[in-house]
Amino acid sequence: KTTTTVAIKMIAKANIGNVIIKQRGTKWYAGRNVRQGADDTLYATKTGIVQFTEKYKTDFTGKKRKIKLVNIV
């Protein structure tokens, strides 16, 4: 199964409820002040600046992998 980022909607400032990323599958993960909808869309829960970061996450087998996070700061 491949994931596809359909559109990155917000780059600078987001208000409450604004769609930040529309995607199919989970390529980008929800970070601070961001929620994920049922269709994997990421939206803002607070007003602020959109920040894209990367983080290492350990999966259930103990293997580390890099994930992409979207935060509102």
pLDDT (0 to 100) of residue 7:
79
pLDDT (0 to 100) of residue 3:
65
Which of the residues in the chain have pLDDT under 50? none
Give this prediction's pTM: 0.84
63 three-class SS: coil
Phi and psi (nearest 5°) for 24? -115, 115
